[in-house]
């Protein structure tokens, strides 16, 4: 932990762009709650400038103890870190960096955030772990697949418009992962315990999505990792069909916990008040 008589501990979030990031609000809330003198600021870095930014963290000239990395820097962060852990290694992407004994360590807390959100908002969601269906095979879907596999789901079906991307993930994450095209959705939903959307499908006027969740087992959960809007078109459809749902905002809140604890030495809580504050912020800033 940091001594308050010294320079306050400084952490960052970097992305390009980064102004949409809610992370400064989350960490700022916790810093205030604990009465810590630290800071957590957004730093916008172009992709070409990212390696120099990493150098400035490693040599201490930037004055940061660590920080978060978001799109499009997660892959570079993993590649440039001195000591990525196994989670980041398998994903090929890091979202959390910290200095330890002069080495830049990297991990990925997106899967942790995903699981803790559902533990929090949908108690008992893993009582049955026979089958999960994940829509989308982009960067965000990887952490979800890894997390569900590590939680012990028997089958994880990854459906994607570009089926080759789903196949790549099945190859990467092992034999319990099965790739399929979008058209296979009704069949793969049969008896499923969980449906996860990781795409922007249904969000813009040019596409629409119509999912019949009735083949899922009774009591199954539908979740979306997209949290703007909080109730996505897919969650709205699931609600109309009387499915149990969990929105994705808590993934953002929970993924922030391990980083804060590492940089500032206190373990923060994801509380209803924090959630309400971030929702209010989203409503006022779009
Ligand atoms: P992210 O890192 O947020 O996951 P991404 O890597 O660009 O972003 O992935 C976006 C995901 O949404 C992909 O699975 C993409 O499908 P493709 O791999 O076929 O591109 C999916 N996606 C986005 N818009 C879509 C649409 N209109 N219809 C179907 N899938 C869509």
Delimit the domains of the chain by residue range. 4-108+251-284, 122-247
Nearest to 98 by CA among 89, 107, 111, 88: 107
Q: Tell me, in angstroms, the distance from the centre of ligand 1 to residue 135's CA.
A: 9
Give the span between the Cα atoms of 101 and 96, in whole angstroms.
Answer: 17
Scored b (16 or more CB within 10 A) or e, 238-268 reads beeeebbbbbbbbbbbbbbbbbbebbbeeeb
Ligand 1 within 6 A of 167 CB?
no
The model's pTM is 0.95
| Least confident segment among 148-152, 170-174, 202-206 | 202-206
Q: Report, at the CATH architecture level, how domain 4-108+251-284 is classified.
A: 3-Layer(aba) Sandwich (3.40)
Distance 165 CA to ligand 1 centre (A): 10
* 132: region left, alpha or beta (phi > 0 left; psi from -120 to 50 alpha): beta
So what CATH class is 122-247?
alpha beta
4-108+251-284 and 122-247 agree in CATH topology: yes
Q: Is 53 in contact with 46 (CB distance < 8 Å)?
A: no
Q: In which band, very low, low, confident or very high, does the pLDDT at 5 lie, cut at 50, 70 and 90?
A: low
Strands 96-100 and 39-44: unpaired
User: Is 4 a residue whose pLDDT tops 90?
Assistant: no
| pLDDT value at residue 104 | 98
Q: How far apart are CA 112 and CA 123, in angstroms?
A: 16
Q: How far is the CA of 77 from the centre of ligand 1 (A)?
A: 22
pLDDT tens per residue, range 21-69: 999 999 999 999 999 999 999 999 999 999 999 999 999 999 999 999 9
Q: Which ligand 1 atom minimizes the distance to the CA of 204?
A: 27
- In angstroms, the Cα distances linking 148 to 111, 138, 235, 250 are 8, 16, 20, 16
* Cβ–ligand 1 contact at 233 (below 6 Å): no
The protein residue whose alpha carbon is closest to atom 27 in ligand 1 is 201
CA distance 77 to 88: 10
Q: Which residues are catalytic?
A: 74
Q: Percentage of the chain with pLDDT > 90? A: 92
* Ligand 1 within 6 A of CB of 136: yes
């Amino acid at each position: 932990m940091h001594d308050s008589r010294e320079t306050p501990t400084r952490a960052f979030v970097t992305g390009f762009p980064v102004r949409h990031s809610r992370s400064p609000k989350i960490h700022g809330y916790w810093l205030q709650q604990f009465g810590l003198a630290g800071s957590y600021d957004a730093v916008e870095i172009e992709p070409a400038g990212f390696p120099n930014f990493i150098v400035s963290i490693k040599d201490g000239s930037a004055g940061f103890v660590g920080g978060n990395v978001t799109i499009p820097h997660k892959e570079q962060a993993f590649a440039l870190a001195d000591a990525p852990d196994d989670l980041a290694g398998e994903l090929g992407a890091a979202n959390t960096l910290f200095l330890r004994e002069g080495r830049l360590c990297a991990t990925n807390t997106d899967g942790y955030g995903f699981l803790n959100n559902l533990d929090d908002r949908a108690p008992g969601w893993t009582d049955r772990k026979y089958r999960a269906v994940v829509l989308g095979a982009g960067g965000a879907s990887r952490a979800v697949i890894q997390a569900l596999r590590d939680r012990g789901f028997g089958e994880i079906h990854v459906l994607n418009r570009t089926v080759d991307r789903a196949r790549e993930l099945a190859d990467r994450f092992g034999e319990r992962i099965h790739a399929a095209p979008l058209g296979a959705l009704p069949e793969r939903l049969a008896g499923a315990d969980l449906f996860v959307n990781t795409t922007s499908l249904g969000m813009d006027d040019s596409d629409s999505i119509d999912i019949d969740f009735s083949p899922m087992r009774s009591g199954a959960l539908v979740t979306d990792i997209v949290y703007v809007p909080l109730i996505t078109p897919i969650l709205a459809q699931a609600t109309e069909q009387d499915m149990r749902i969990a929105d994705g905002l808590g993934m953002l809140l929970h993924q922030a916990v391990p980083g804060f604890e590492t940089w500032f030495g206190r373990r923060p809580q994801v509380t209803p008040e924090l959630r309400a504050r971030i929702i209010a912020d989203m409503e006022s800033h779009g």
